[in-house]
A and B are shown apart, each in its own frame.
Chain A
Amino acid sequence: MTALRVFFIGGRISYRALFNWLHPTMYIPTMLGSPLFQILFFAYLGRAAGVRDDTFFVVGNAVQVCCMSALYGATQTIGNERQFGTLAPLLATPANRAALFLGRALPLIVNGLIVSAFGFVCAWLLLDFDPPASSIPPLALVLVVTVCSTTAFAMGLGAIGMRARDVFFSSNLAYYVMLLVCGVNVPFEELPGWVQSIGRSLPLTHGIEAARQVAAGASLSSVSGLVGAEAAVGAAWGVVAFCLFRLFEAESRRRASLETS
């Protein structure tokens, strides 16, 4: 019961206190406005370049914008705790670490889903994007899996924030690199082999491919391999993230470097 309280209430307070995103003047421009314009920008860039159709860019970017919540949120969750001096008292508590860690991921997942769903709806209204109604449930499922795997990866970056000084640099860098290597805008098969290898080891890549096929009318069973791969990549990153979190926590205790490194 205590672990559940840490998971839900701790995660909610962390989200509200650290992000301040629940204030409309912050949330709407950052979490809704910016992703919307990203989708529009790449859709028009695709038209100008004469590559693929709007659907290709809408699906790629609408799925990718969940990173905005996951990456920036996760790094700020831990980075800001350290900056504001609350990380040491938090780690001094006997709270269940898995609940503590996962509780901070849950609001990011929910927010990522909202951001991506908003992107899809706006693209449907403003661009040449009209997926069949039957594709919406499987698309939603693919989106949930992809947002979870992206958040797991982001929590890994957040854990690095326990040691690194400038976590915002890494989250920004990861955001833009994923835009390139995960096949968001450039067709994945056109990327060089070594870039594809990086892309396959990151979340988003398989999820975006699955979402594109589903939006084109494919059934969920036909993309189950891609969805499974996305889930597996996410699970692997989740394990890495939690191990990093525990490792850096232990190292910080041993070296008394939590607030100095």
Chain B
Amino acid sequence: MATLRMLLFSWWFFFRILTESGFFILTSVIQPVLFATMAFELFRLGRGEHTLLYAGLGAAMMGIWSSTLFGSGGQIQYARFRGTLELQVLAPPSYLLVLVPAMLATSALGLYSLVATLGWGWLLFGMPLHLAHPWLFLPAVVCAVIGLGLLGIVMASTFVLWRHANAFSNLLEYPVWLLAGLIVPLSFLPDWARWIAYPLSPYWAAKGVRAAALGGNPLPPMAICLGLGLVYLGIGALTVSNFERLAREKASLALA
């Protein structure tokens, strides 16, 4: 019970911190709306068969990925900068239990993207908000948040070992948007690209959310997304313990 309380409180705490940041508001609200506008215009003008809702959901998933990427990439660096990293690592709970709610908070911030892009599309572009499986849409979104958030743990604990982690975050935004098929269907990409998409939770998260909204069976992709999340959690446990070990051995916790 104490652990659950800590997880919930930490999640809320990190979520509040992120909502105070202009950069994350830009990443999770303004940027997705601008990208959604471009996508709406392109799909409206084009000969493609995809709907505005398809474009809106894609832009929202792009926003969830961006907030997860920049949040997880910078989480340990931010704590280091604020001087709270030592306290987090030395606290009685495992550091992994500190990172899990922080990462889930970064991906949950992406929910703003979903609301913003769908609201924007509905208001300005007349996008219909008819959902194929209304009762599965919210669970699909929650699965997406969990799947992406747990991927964030792997990124947070590996990026921190690299001095220029923010450069790596900058690099990974567009490739995952593209290779996970968030808005461009994988059928437009070379065949080899699919093999990169399959181990990525954003691909299954987008597939689940899209199936819940547009039709199809969302349960298999949701299950795979959660399963991948558990795999990421296992990898994250290893990489976090490696990070802690290196930090203690080299006394480099407070150093970049």
Contact = CB atoms under 8 A, between A and B. Distances in A.
Interface of A: 23, 25-26, 28-30, 33-34, 37-38, 40-41, 44-51, 166, 168-169, 172-173, 176-177, 179-180, 185-187, 190-191
Given A25-B164, A172-B23, A186-B41, A48 B174 contact: no
B92 interface: no
B242 interface: no
Contacts of A49: 39, 42-43, 45-46, 48, 50
A70 to B, nearest CB: 16
Contact of B30 (A26, A38, A173, A185): A173
A186 B42 contact: yes
Given A30-B167, A48-B183, A180 B37 contact: yes
B6 interface: no
A48 to B, nearest CB: 5
Given A29-B168, A173-B26, A47 B188 contact: yes
A50 B47 contact: yes
Interface of B: 22-23, 26, 30-31, 34-35, 37-39, 41-43, 45-48, 50, 162-164, 167-168, 170-171, 173-175, 177-178, 183-185, 188-189
Nearest to A35: B174
Given A44-B184, A45-B183, A48-B183, A33 B171 contact: yes
Contacts of B164: 23, 25-26, 29
30 contacts: A23-B164, A25-B162, A25-B164, A29-B168, A30-B170, A30-B171, A34-B171, A34-B173, A37-B173, A40-B178, A44-B178, A44-B188, A44-B189, A46-B42, A48-B48, A48-B184, A49-B43, A51-B48, A168-B23, A169-B23, A169-B26, A172-B23, A172-B26, A172-B31, A173-B30, A176-B26, A176-B30, A176-B31, A185-B38, A186-B45
Contacts of B183: 45, 48
Contacts of A191: 41
Contacts of A186: 38, 41-42, 45
Contacts of A26: 164, 167
A41 B177 contact: yes
Nearest to A27: B167
A219 to B, nearest CB: 29
B178 A37 contact: yes
Contacts of B168: 29
A206 to B, nearest CB: 20
B188 A48 contact: yes
